[in-house]
Amino acid sequence: MPKRALITGITGQDGSYLAELLLGQGYQVHGVVRRSSTLNFSRIEHIQDRLTLLPGDLLDQNSLIDAVQQARPDEVYNLAAQSFVQTSWNQPVLTGEFTALGVTRVLEAVRLAAPEARFYQASSSEMFGQVRETPQTELTPFHPRSPYGVAKVYGHYATVNYRESYGLFACSGILFNHESPRRGLEFVTRKITDGAARIKLGLADELRLGNLEAQRDWGFAGDYVKAMWRMLQHDRPDDFVVGTGRTHTVRYFVEQTFAALGITLAWEGRELDEVGVDTANGRVVVRTDERFYRPAEVNLLLSDPTKAREVLGWTPEVDIEGLVEMMVRADYERLSTGRR
Ligand code: NAP
Ligand code: F7E
C-alpha cells in the first residue's frame, strides 16, 4: 500500500517541493487549498494531475477535520502560514490566527481524525530573533522579534505539547531561511534576483532595499524538504534545527547576484542613503529605502545543524553561491522570454 500524505500550504514554495519529493517516493499526496477568487496553483501546476486537492482553511476547524478524514494520512505536514515577517506588523491578529492558532487547529484535526499519523510543524529560526547565542541549536532560548516570530513560538510549543499530552508523533523543524526560484517575490532573495535581472534586461532602473547588514543562513528549499521528510521517518518524534551552518549579509547576496549578471557594484553613502553603483557606467542600480526597514530587526541568524546531520543523516547540497546562480538564472530566463 502506498503511503498517504497530507500537506497544508501545498501551493507555497515548500509545499510544491515537498509534494514533488513525496510523489517521487510513491506517496499518494493530498493538499489543503484555500478558496480564492483566482486560482493560485502556479507552483504545482506541473504535478496537479497527480495530487488530490482538498478545500480547507487554517481558520476553519471543520474544514481541517474533513480534510484529514478524507486524506486518511500516514503523515501530515503543516506548512501553511502567513509567512512574510514584514506583513506580520501590519496584520498581527491575522498572523496569530493563521500562524499560531492555525497550528492548534491542524493538531486538533489530527488528534481527532488520524491520531496515528505523524505530524510535521514548520517552525522557524525567526523564533530565535534577538539571538541569545551563536550558532543557534535546538537548545537556544527563543526571543522572537516580530508578530510572526511570536506566532511561530506558539506553534512550536503547541506541537511539543501535543506530543507530550496525547503521544502524537509530532515533530517541529526549526528551519533557517530557505529559498528557490519559487520563492515569493517579496522575500529579499527573490526580490534581489528578480530586480537585478530586470535591471540587466532594461526592464527596471533600480532596486530598493532595506537593511543590507542583516545576516541570514540561506539554503535551498529543495534540500530542506528532505529534512522534513526524514524527521517523520525517524524512530521517535523530536525537534531539529535545519540550516547550512553559514551566514551572509543581504549586501553579499546583492553583490553575488549582480556579479552573476556581469555587474560589479561599488557602494557609496551610508544606511538610509546608501547606493550601489554599477562600476562599468556609474549608474545607481541599488538604493536603500526606509520603507523596507523593520520596526525590530533580526540581525544575525546562524544554524548549528549538527543534530540533523548526526541523527537524520541530513546535509544540504546547494551552497549560497549555487543558490544565487540558480535563482538569478531562472529570473533572467523567465523575464527574457517575456513572462513577467
Ligand atoms: P509560502 O510560500 O508563503 O506558502 C505559504 C502557504 O500557506 C501557501 O500555500 C498559502 O496558500 C498557505 N496558506 C496561507 N494562509 C492559509 C490559510 N489561512 N489556510 C490555508 N492555507 C494557507 O511559505 P513557504 O516559504 O513555503 O514556507 C512554508 C512554511 O515554512 C511556512 O509555515 C513558513 O512560515 C515556514 N518557514 C519558512 C521558511 C523559509 O525560509 N521559507 C523558514 C522557516 C519556516 P495560498 O497559496 O493560498 O496563499
Ligand atoms: O528578509 C532584510 C530584512 O523577508 C531577510 C521567511 O521565510 O525566513 C523568512 O523571514 C532579511 C531581513 O526573510 C529587504 O530586514 C533588507 O533582515 O527575506 P526576508 P525573513 O524575514 O528572514 C524565516 C526563517 C521565516 O520563517 C519566514 O517565513 O532581509 N531586508 N531589505 C529585506 N527584506 C525584504 N523582504 N525586503 C527588502 O527590501
Question: DSSP characters for 264-304?
Answer: -EEEES-GGG-EEEETTT--EEEEE-GGGS-SS---B--B-
| pLDDT on residue 317 | 98
User: What average pLDDT values come out for the chain (340 residues) when binned by 10 residues?
Assistant: 98 99 98 96 98 98 98 99 98 98 99 98 99 98 98 99 98 99 98 98 98 98 99 98 98 98 97 96 98 98 98 98 98 92
Between the CA of 111 and the centroid of ligand 1 the distance, in Å, is: 22
Same domain, 26 and 85: yes
Between the CA of 60 and the centroid of ligand 2 the distance, in Å, is: 28
Same domain, 151 and 271: no
Its domain, for residue 292, covers 188-213+249-299+324-336
| pLDDT on residue 38 | 94
Same domain, 144 and 41: yes
Same domain, 284 and 240: no
The closest residue, in CA terms, to atom 6 on ligand 1 is 9
Same domain, 155 and 273: no
Same domain, 229 and 285: no
Same domain, 101 and 41: yes
Same domain, 8 and 119: yes
| pLDDT on residue 146 | 98
Same domain, 38 and 81: yes
Same domain, 157 and 258: no
6 strand-pairing partners: 30, 76
Same domain, 10 and 131: yes
Between the CA of 188 and the centroid of ligand 2 the distance, in Å, is: 5
Same domain, 100 and 144: yes
CATH of the domain at 8: 3.40.50.720
CA angle at residue 204 from 198 to 210, to 5 degrees?
90
CATH of the domain at 267: 3.90.25.10
Mutation test of ligand 1: which of 14, 35, 189, 244 has the most ligand atoms closer than 8 Å to its C-beta? Answer: 14
Q: Is 92 in the pocket of ligand 1 (CB under 6 A)?
A: no
Asked whether 192 and 210 are in contact (CB, 8 A), the reply is: no
* Number of structural domains in the chain: 2
| pLDDT on residue 339 | 77
